[in-house]
């Protein structure tokens, strides 16, 4: 079980969730000293208001405010604020929040600290799992999210393509998966020219990481994760403000590996494949250039519109490779466009698919898991924006409009045989801390996708 969780001991401090409607009865149920302390402290049951009630041996209980009754439901991750508010100790839910499972998950996710380079405060806070909540299931989810956050938070001087490969190999070894890599000039020999073109300018050799797990006869599910370990923008170099957090440009790969951990740890009845094109988009004499033309794995010639739109290029080769097996499902996760952030902000990733049933199922899973997603249209009317006069397709759209949609339309050209495909344009970063989501690297879409896969293949 994850260290954030504890087995029942009978000594855990209760946390009482309070709304304006439940506060009078709960206040009356407190013993006289606790009630007097709450009154003297001026406690009001406002969202995330926290009060530690004193007792003979220390803390007798914790009051924690939720959204007022009669208003739309608040953030189901609000309990994720608690680890920052509580002293070290073991706690339990004294009453039930609206969703005990999500509250317990948020508590554990809110305990996350990235401590590779600086010691985190030594404060051990643990939660006794609520009745009926599956500790093994929550633990694998928390482990997966922590894996993704750790990878995204690690700076590029310690996480290049080779280190991302090492992380995939460690995960594969843990679960008995096979991992193969194609590195450097071998990418050309094995017909992955776009991955090579993007990564060749770096002193860190580009590669394709290929992880497979499960029964070869089981339904095939392939996850493709964008693994650009740092993105300067290439010759179309980014300004300083845009380059600052580009260590997170491998956030799609991090989320793909997190999803893989959840799938393999649960033992879902599928054949999993994870493809991560891992490159650094650097600048040197061998960097690819605007208006260069390269072949792609599926035979389409691609004219480069902008070297800062490199993610779709490496994904194109990986998707074409994935498609050759005609899998039942192909998902790609990528920190792909600023346009998606302009449209929906950092917390709500758009996704694209032509499978209406899959989209409905994804949205339902996203709502249940509090892993937000929003469907955007693969609007064919914008395909002319990708036309090139001298190649089969241009990598970026003309006119500056609909950047996230045209990127998805570009990727669609490389998926033909798969039964269903969905593209997720994630941000993989929390700019300001939120309940259960510390500032920094974030795992997006993976929990919703895991819920969907579990509902289909856990039998």
The C-alpha atoms of residue 288 and residue 48 are separated, in whole angstroms, by 50
Q: How far is CA 44 from CA 78, 99, 136, 327, in A?
A: 16, 22, 36, 54
Cα 242 to Cα 237: distance, rounded to the nearest angstrom: 10
Same domain assignment for residues 85 and 206: no
- What is the β-pairing status of strands 350-353 and 374-375? parallel
Domain boundary among 80, 110, 133: 133
Verify that 276 and 255 share a domain, yes or no.
yes
Residues 147 and 121 reside in one and the same domain: no
* 89 in the same domain as 163: no
Q: How far apart are the first and last CA of the chain?
A: 23
- Composition of the chain by helix, strand, coil, percent to 5: 35, 20, 40
Structure tokens at 394: 């241009």
pLDDT tens series, the chain, 459 aa: 899 999 888 889 999 999 999 999 999 999 999 999 999 999 999 999 999 999 887 899 999 999 886 666 689 999 999 999 999 999 999 999 999 999 999 999 999 999 999 987 778 999 999 999 999 999 999 999 999 999 999 999 999 999 999 999 999 999 999 999 999 999 999 999 999 999 999 999 999 999 999 999 999 999 999 999 999 999 999 999 999 999 999 999 999 999 999 999 999 999 999 999 999 999 999 999 999 999 999 999 999 999 999 999 999 999 999 999 999 999 999 999 999 999 999 999 999 999 999 999 999 999 999 999 999 999 999 999 999 999 999 999 999 999 999 999 999 999 999 999 999 999 999 999 999 999 999 999 999 999 999 999 997
Q: Where among 117, 133, 149 does a domain terminate? A: 133
Domain CATH for 420: 3.40.630.10
Judge if 208 and 311 occupy the same domain. Answer: yes
Catalytic residues: 238, 312
Count structural domains, the chain: 2
């Amino acid at each position: 079980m994850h260290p954030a969780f504890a087995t029942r001991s009978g000594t855990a401090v209760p946390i009482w969730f309070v709304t304006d409607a439940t506060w009078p009865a709960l206040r009356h149920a407190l013993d006289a000293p606790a009630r007097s302390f709450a009154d003297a402290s001026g406690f009001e049951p406002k969202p995330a208001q926290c009060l530690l009630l004193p007792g003979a041996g220390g803390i007798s209980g914790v009051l924690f405010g939720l959204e007022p009754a009669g208003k739309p439901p608040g953030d189901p991750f609000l309990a994720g604020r608690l680890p920052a508010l509580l002293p070290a100790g073991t706690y339990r839910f004294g009453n039930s929040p609206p969703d005990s499972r999500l509250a317990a998950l948020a508590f554990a996710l809110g305990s996350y600290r990235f401590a590779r380079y600086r010691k985190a405060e030594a404060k051990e806070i643990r939660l006794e799992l609520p009745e009926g909540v599956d500790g093994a299931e929550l633990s694998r989810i928390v482990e997966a999210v922590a894996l993704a956050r750790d990878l995204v938070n690690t700076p590029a001087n310690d996480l290049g393509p080779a280190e991302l490969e090492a992380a995939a190999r460690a995960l594969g070894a843990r679960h008995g998966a096979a991992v193969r890599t194609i590195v450097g000039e071998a990418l050309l020999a094995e017909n992955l020219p776009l991955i090579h073109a993007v990564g060749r300018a770096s002193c860190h050799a580009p590669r394709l990481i290929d992880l497979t797990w499960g029964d070869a006869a089981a339904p095939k599910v392939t996850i493709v994760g964008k693994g650009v370990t740092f993105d300067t923008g290439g010759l179309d170099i980014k300004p300083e403000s845009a380059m600052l957090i580009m260590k997170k440009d491998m956030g799609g790969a991090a989320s793909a590996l997190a999803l893989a951990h959840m799938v393999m740890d649960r033992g879902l009845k599928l054949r999993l494949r994870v493809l991560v094109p891992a490159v650094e988009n650097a600048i040197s004499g061998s960097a690819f250039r605007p208006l260069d033309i390269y072949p792609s794995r599926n035979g389409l010639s691609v004219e480069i519109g902008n070297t800062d739109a490199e993610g779709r290029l490496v994904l194109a080769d990986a998707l074409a490779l994935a498609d050759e097996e005609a899998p039942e499902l192909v998902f790609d996760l990528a920190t792909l466009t600023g346009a998606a952030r302009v449209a929906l902000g950092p917390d709500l990733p758009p996704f694209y698919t032509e499978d209406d049933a899959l989209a409905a199922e994804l949205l339902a899973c996203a709502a249940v898991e509090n892993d937000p997603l929003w469907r955007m249209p693969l609007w064919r009317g914008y395909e002319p924006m990708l036309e090139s006069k001298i190649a089969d397709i241009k990598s970026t759209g003309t006119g500056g409009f609909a950047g996230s949609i045209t990127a998805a339309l570009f990727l669609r050209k490389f998926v033909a045989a798969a039964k269903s495909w969905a593209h997720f344009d994630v941000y993989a970063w929390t700019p300001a801390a939120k309940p259960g989501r510390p500032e920094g690297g974030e795992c997006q879409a993976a929990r919703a996708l895991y819920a969907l896969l579990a509902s289909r293949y856990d039998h």
